[in-house]
Each structure stands twice: as structure tokens, then as C-alpha cells.
């Protein structure tokens, strides 16, 4: 049932509030907050996750976009001195500003489906200050992120996230766990930023350019999709079979294509 203390969910914010206590318990148990850790919650909504996090952690910052929710959260959660509420857009928020000295942040949230991809990339750009992330996302998006080469869901999102993170689908969450009930299934994903990136360091913008171009015509061979960007000689020098399709090429191979391409453009 909807909590009458809070306003109704807003479509423009992509709000679907978590309300199933068993699911809440499962998420918090998987996240496993420990004393001394600095926790961040994106989109606390009606505080379904916020309260159990406050009860187990020493420091919690929450980032909430909805101006109408913030004063209600402040009133309800005023008894917790270790909580800081930021009325802000997570898409532009500087998460590094929350870091104390060299600590790593642990981030959790039920992310709006309509901003999932840009928000993930925004967070990954700040991954040097992040220990790990636990997010509720649309199931299809989680499956795309975790997809392996040679499968239908493997693509740009899989490669760009897996290059920088260990990614794992933890469990599925049914639509009935939310208010209002969404038309799709959700899933919990675990993301752990890698200290050493898959295949070694390469310019992320260049990698994104290569991968985006590679999947621009998914049914064509990698030779056809990348010949005008990197050239066939670069593909061959990277050890790529020109007859391969984009979805059969591994993250490491895309990194190698990008590295070889960038080296070829140097004077």
C-alpha cells in the first residue's frame, strides 16, 4: 500500500517506490553495511532502504532529486544524526565531494529506469572513490550489463561497464514489490570497480567511440563496421578475424583494437 505521508510517485522522475519488506531485507543483507563504512544512497524515495541502512551504518548521505520528498525525509529521519540529505540531481552530483580523505564510498539505490545508463557512466567516471555499488535496475538492463560475448544481449553497455567493473546479477525482484507496480521485472546488480581495468588502461572516450561504431550495424561483420574508423590493418594487427561479428569480440579485444588504433595515430 502507498504511504500517505508521502506524495504519489511522479512519472517524470521515473519513481517506483520499493515496498516489499522481504525484498528490502534481502537487499540490505546482500549489501551488508558495516560499522565505519561511508554509505551513499541514490534516490531514497520513501526511505524503505534508508532506515535499515541508518540502523546498521555510521555515516549515510542520500541524494534525492524530488524537492517535495526532501522535507518529509528530513522530518521523518531527524532522529539520525549521522544522516545527510542532499537535494540534488545524481546525474550531475559530485560524489567525490562526499569522500573523507582516502576512504571508499559504498553506493546503493533503486535507480529510475529512465536515467540508468547515463547515471552509471557518471558514477564510473568517479569510480576511483567508490568501493562498490548495489543497484535496483530494470532486469533487461542488468542482463545487458552482465552479458558475455556471443550472446544477444552483449553490446556497448556490456563492454563499457565490464571494462571498468566486475558486474554480477544477484537476484530478481518482481513488479509487485513496488508502488506503483512497473510493467517490467527488476534485478539487483553488484558492481565492483576494478583497480586494474580489463585489458589495461586505454582512453575511455576512444574505447567508447570504437565500441559504438562497432555496434552501429550489429548484423554486419566487424570489418564492415570499423573499416572507416580504425581500418582493416588495425583490426588485423589486433588479432581480429575480419569475419567476426561485433557481439563475438571480447572486452579485452576491443581494448586492444582501441590501443592499436590510438598508437597508429601518433606521429
**pLDDT (tens digit per residue) in 114-125:** 899 999 999 999
Residue 6 forms part of a structural domain: no
180 and 214: one domain?
A: no
CB atoms within 10 A of CB 196: 7
Q: CB within 8 A of 202, min separation 6: which ones?
A: 255, 258, 259, 262
CATH number, residue 81? 3.40.50.150
pLDDT of 185 > 50? The answer is: yes
Do 52 and 153 share a domain, yes or no? yes
What CATH number does residue 214 fall under? 1.10.8.100
52: containing domain: 11-193
The answer on 138 and 212 residing in a single domain is: no
Q: Which of 232, 242, 141, 135 is nearest to 188 (CA)?
A: 135
Query: Considering the domain boundaries, does residue 199 fall inside one?
Result: no
Query: 26 with 155, same domain?
Result: yes
Of the candidates 197, 177, 195, 196, the one whose C-alpha atom is nearest the C-alpha of residue 185 is: 177
Q: How far apart are CA 206 and CA 69, in angstroms?
A: 40
Could you give the C-alpha distances from 175 to 6, 30, 236, in angstroms and in order? Answer: 20, 20, 47
pLDDT of 177 strictly over 70: yes
Dist CA 16 CA 125 (whole Å): 26
- Check whether 1 has a pLDDT greater than 50: no
What is the pLDDT of the chain when averaged over all its residues? 91
Residue 1 forms part of a structural domain: no
Distances (CA, A) of 129 to 81, 133, 195, 202: 24, 11, 11, 19
* Cis peptide preceding 180, ω within 30 of 0: yes
Residue 132 and residue 258 share a domain: no
In DSSP terms, which residues pair with 40 in a beta bridge?
61, 107
Are the CB atoms for 92 and 71 separated by under 8 Å?
Answer: no
Within a domain: 216: yes
The pLDDT assigned to 218 comes to 85
Mean pLDDT for 104-111 is 95
Whether the pLDDT of residue 3 is over 60: the answer is no
Mean pLDDT of all residues in 169-183: 89
144 with 230, same domain?
A: no
pLDDT in tens, 220-237: 999 999 999 999 999 999
The DSSP result for 150-168, as a single string, is TSTT-SHHHHHHHTTEEEE
Residue count (the chain): 267
> Where among 141, 160, 193 does a domain terminate?
193
Average pLDDT (108-131) is 93
For residue 6, pLDDT beyond 80: no
| Pairing verdict, β 38-42 and 105-110 | parallel
Residue 5 lies in a domain: no
Question: Are 42 and 145 part of one and the same domain?
Answer: yes
Q: Last residue of a domain, which of 193, 221, 240?
A: 193
* Residue in 110, 100, 51 with CA at minimum distance from that of residue 78: 51
Is the same domain home to 161 and 84?
A: yes
- When divided into structural domains, the chain yields a total of 2
Amino acid at each position: 500500500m502507498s504511504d500517505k505521508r508521502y506524495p504519489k510517485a511522479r512519472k517524470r522522475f521515473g519513481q517506483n517506490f520499493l515496498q516489499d519488506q522481504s525484498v528490502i531485507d534481502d537487499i540490505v543483507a546482500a549489501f551488508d553495511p558495516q560499522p565505519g563504512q561511508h554509505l551513499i544512497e541514490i534516490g531514497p524515495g520513501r526511505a524503505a532502504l534508508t532506515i535499515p541502512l541508518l540502523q546498521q551504518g555510521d555515516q549515510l548521505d542520500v541524494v534525492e532529486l524530488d524537492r517535495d520528498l526532501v522535507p518529509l525525509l528530513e522530518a521523518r529521519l531527524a532522529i539520525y544524526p549521522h544522516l545527510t540529505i542532499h537535494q540534488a540531481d545524481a546525474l550531475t552530483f559530485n560524489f567525490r565531494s562526499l569522500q573523507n580523505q582516502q576512504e571508499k564510498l559504498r553506493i546503493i539505490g533503486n535507480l529510475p529506469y529512465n536515467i540508468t545508463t547515463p547515471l552509471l557512466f557518471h558514477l564510473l567516471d568517479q569510480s576511483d572513490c567508490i568501493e562498490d555499488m548495489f543497484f535496483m535496475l530494470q532486469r533487461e538492463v542488468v542482463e545487458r550489463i552482465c552479458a558475455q560475448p556471443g550472446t544477444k544481449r552483449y553490446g556497448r553497455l556490456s563492454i563499457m561497464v565490464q571494462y571498468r567493473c566486475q558486474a554480477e546479477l544477484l537476484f530478481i525482484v518482481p513488479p509487485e514489490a513496488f508502488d506503483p507496480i512497473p510493467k517490467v521485472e527488476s534485478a539487483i546488480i553488484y558492481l565492483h570497480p576494478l583497480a586494474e581495468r580489463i585489458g589495461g588502461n586505454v582512453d575511455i572516450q576512444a574505447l567508447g567511440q570504437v565500441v559504438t561504431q562497432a555496434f552501429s550495424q550489429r548484423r554486419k561483420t566487424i570489418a564492415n563496421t570499423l573499416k572507416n574508423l580504425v581500418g582493416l590493418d588495425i583490426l588485423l594487427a589486433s588479432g581480429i578475424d575480419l569475419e567476426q561479428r561485433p557481439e563475438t569480440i571480447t572486452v579485452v579485444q576491443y581494448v586492444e583494437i582501441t590501443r592499436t588504433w590510438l598508437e597508429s595515430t601518433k606521429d
